[in-house]
Chains A and B, each alone.
Chain A
Amino acid sequence: MDYRTEEEQLEALKNWWKKNGGSLLVGVALALAIVFGWKGWQNHQANQRAAAASHFNDMLDALNNDDSKKRMSSMDFIASQMRKDYGSSVYTVFANLLMAKEQVQQKQFDKALDSLSWAQKHVGEKDPLRLVVDERLARAQFAANKPDAALNTLQEIKDPGSFAASYKELEGDILKSQGKTSEAIAAYKAARKAAGDTPSPILDLKLSDLAGAEGS
């Protein structure tokens, strides 16, 4: 394939173009389409993200409203909009957590459980955020006077990891409220052990008050 003269080279190029030109043009066009399509998709994603972020910030602002009725209604409005438009964004999970906080505070326990269940469904089981959501759910169930459901939520978590101390303390609170003193002590002691060197004065209060009752 050695081309001696320019004409020969030109000729070869022309032949090659006749043979492959069409498909090359199609290829280039396809590549461009992919590039622009991808860029467009990225832009769309970025816009969605920015909009969800700004809703989340609105939610945080709404939380600071001193009027409890207005606070609830504006938070409720933003959260439901986010569930509708940005259902797959982590910001919407946070919006539901914020919503649940407000609902527990205003004693609308069933609604709080709905918010937290939504969050639970939208956070993968392996996502560390799930540990936060599950703990909040159990806490809200306990507040809603459903201690068995709360215990069940806690027990379903296979590996609480760094949340072990918090989980065990909550478990102790629930057991204590059910009058199961010795089991509560065991849970508190497990929490104390999991906490290690981290000081937890409130846990110590609970434990010392009960440990006394057991005579240890």
Chain B
Amino acid sequence: MLQNMRNNAQGIVAKVIVGLLVLSFALWGIHSIIGSFSSEPKVAEVNGDAITQAQFERLVELQRQQTLAQMQKPDPAAIDQAKLKKTVLNSMIEQMVMYQDAKNHGLRLSDRDVDNLIASQPSFQQNGKFNEQAFEARVRNMGLTVGSFRDLVRKEYLIRQIQAGIVSSGFISDAEVNDIMKLRFQTRSFKQLSLPKSLVAKDVTVTDDEIKKYYDEHPADFVAPESIDAAYIELSVNGLLDQVQVSDKALHDLYTQKMDGYKAHEERDAAQILVEDKGGEKAVKAKLDAIKKQIDSGADFAALARKYSDDVATAKKGGELGYATKGTYTPAFDEAVFSMKKGQVKGPIKTPFGYHFIKLLDIRQQPKPTFAQMEGKLRHELKMQEARKLFATKLSSLQDAVFTADSLQGPAKTFGLKVQEVNGVTRKGGAAPFDHPGLVNKLYSDDVLKNGNNSDAVHLGDDAVVFTRVLKHHAEHQQALDQVREQVKKTLEQQQIYVKLEDRAKSLIAKLESGADDNAVSKDVGQAWASYDAVGRDDQKVSGDVLKKVFDMPHPDGKKATYATVRTDDGLAIVQLDAVQDPEASTLKARFDGFERYLAAQSGSKDYYDYRQQLQQKADVVRN
């Protein structure tokens, strides 16, 4: 074999192969050869380009962290991992498609350009210069490597270029804007006559046959979703409050302790004039000097605040900030306020908000509260403390007890808890505490549902823990007629009421169209017409359903009104549309510019949205 190769090495074929290898290494580097043979696991292939398992996992984890960080009470159990993975994969595929499109359009970004982009990001700079350590730390914090971050920057940048080209060039002609505005601000004048359900309700009867027929014809309406009757026990700090005792001595000790540190409750009322750091150093300095001069010559501080302060909210009140304790403001400001004498003025003092002049208006001491005043609060505080301790000790032994037991009764008895039940918890949740998605996930988990075990602890916030188990599992099933008879009856009654009302309305409309007197018609049903003049689409006086109908109706032909009926909460309404009005020219003119900008932007964004859809649909995606 080796001998053969040596012989052939001199042959023309081998020379060509070696030549090609040399050439491809030179052009694309060794990665192009090694890379295409690598067997890294892939989660998807998009038009032939792979998304590797490693890339995918990294972003899933990143997304998970971000989701957790956004939750008010971070709870990993509440995250639907499958959904999260799907979302991440979809967005990776979408990004890949858009990036390929950018490349297909000849867009590239050299490594040096990527580096320049990164270096110009303010968040990676210190004192206006790129800081490599800051950069690497931030990238690591995001859970990325420097390499994958650069890759991301490159992709996003090129995708944005195409986006900018399509979105910023979206336009709309003046004529189109005017047409749309005419529709948007059109007004209509109409009258409305209500036909309440009571008008026909006494004539409605529903027979058993009709009920049976409806039930048979609409099986899908009577499917009960999968549900679980669940038992649960809850251990909570609040539930333990009764079991803890607080001694009088402890109460008095806590009171004394609190009163020791009471000085901190001094409050100071300050006023300020804020000069924001904008408009250039010169302008700022001029303004500061002007204010300083007037303060020194004894001008009224409140009047100056009203005139000069950039803090609009306090300026109106003469700059007064109100009483506050130490530590309320930013350090520099806080320090100044709490080192001043009453009536003194200081400044300018620099803070991140700008420059402040400060006047100390008043100092007051919160009067020391008596023990009697404090007792209730202190008792609660101590009890909560004790209950939390008890909660922590009980929790770990309760966990063990629940884990080893094959029901909740035993552990409940031992720990003085009550087994409670909630019926009909669907996968979407149920009555409290099953309005907590983490708990529902747990209830439907294999371990609890299939194996019939007690669940492990699910934390509802910091101070309560729930254990649950399945009492009874109901598969999705068809409800029997007797279970839903009343419901069907009600549905049918409503249907018949509306049929009768529609009939009534039809004959009334016929009368109106043939020229009957409006008031005679309304008298016939014992109601009065309600008239509305020049109502716009956003009108609040008219109910939403009626308003929508009014604007869906045919325009009146000359003087001949058009009619329609619309269902309302309490019956049916007849609508008589008398006139359609174009908006005033002044309305159009006043709002033209805003609308034009909005519609042009909208048009560009819509095009880009369509463009993306188009690429996604044409893409050849293989998911592994």
Contacts and interface: CB of A to CB of B under 8 A. Distances in A.
A168 B33 CA distance: 49
A214 B555 CA distance: 9
A132 B180 contact: no
Interface stretch (B170-178, B218-226, B245-253, B320-328): B170-178
Contact of B554 (A56, A206, A215): A215
A161 B409 CA distance: 62
A68 interface: no
B614 A161 contact: yes
Interface in A104-136: 104-105, 107, 127-129, 131-132, 135-136
A163 B610 contact: yes
Contact of A101 (B161, B170, B174, B175): B170
Q: Is the interface of A mostly helix, strand, loop or mixed?
A: helix
B184 A205 contact: yes
B105 A209 contact: no
B540 interface: no
Contact of B183 (A60, A136, A143, A209): A209
B169 A101 contact: yes
A126 B27 CA distance: 30
B542 to A, nearest CB: 16
Contacts of B255: none
B110 A163 contact: no
A89 B108 contact: no
Contacts of B553: 212
A132 B166 contact: yes
B560 to A, nearest CB: 13
A162 B184 contact: no
A163 B614 contact: yes
Contact of B105 (A34, A90, A165): A90
Interface residues of A, number: 54
B247 to A, nearest CB: 64
A131 B607 CA distance: 9
Nearest to A216: B554
A214 B27 contact: no
A31 interface: yes
A214 B106 contact: no
Interface in B529-568: 551-555, 562
A214 B554 contact: yes
B52 to A, nearest CB: 27
Interface string B141-180: 0000000000000000000011011101111111110011
A139 B173 contact: yes
A94 B106 CA distance: 13
Nearest to A169: B606
Interface string B568-598: 0000000000000000000000000000000
B69 interface: no
B170 A142 contact: no
A161 to B, nearest CB: 5
Interface string A10-49: 0000001000000000010001001100100000001001
Interface core residue of A107, A162, A215 (most chain B CB under 10 Å)? A162
Contact of B19 (A27, A60, A97): A27
Contacts of A149: none
Contacts of B481: none
A63 B168 contact: yes
B499 to A, nearest CB: 22
A121 B283 CA distance: 53
Interface in B341-380: none
A49 B614 contact: no
A214 B606 CA distance: 29
Contacts of B10: 16
Contact of B552 (A16, A90, A97, A208): A208
Given A94-B165, A162-B614, A206-B183, A100 B173 contact: no
Given A163-B614, A209-B183, A212-B553, A139 B607 contact: no
A13 B253 CA distance: 101
Nearest to B612: A162
Contact of A212 (B179, B552, B613, B617): B552
B611 A209 contact: no
A98 interface: yes
A135 B553 CA distance: 31
Contacts of A211: 552
Contacts of B174: 107, 143
B176 A173 contact: yes
A53 interface: yes
B165 to A, nearest CB: 3
Given A53-B161, A131-B610, A162-B610, A205 B183 contact: yes
A38 B23 CA distance: 11
Contact of A143 (B101, B113, B175, B551): B175
Contacts of B551: 208-209
Given A90-B105, A101-B168, A208-B552, 16 more contacts: A35-B23, A35-B26, A49-B106, A91-B161, A94-B169, A98-B168, A131-B611, A139-B171, A139-B173, A140-B171, A162-B611, A162-B613, A163-B610, A166-B610, A212-B552, A213-B555
13 contacts: A16-B10, A31-B19, A50-B113, A88-B106, A89-B106, A90-B106, A97-B169, A98-B168, A104-B171, A129-B105, A131-B611, A132-B607, A166-B606
6 nearest CB pairs, A to B: A94-B165, A143-B173, A97-B169, A162-B613, A101-B171, A212-B554
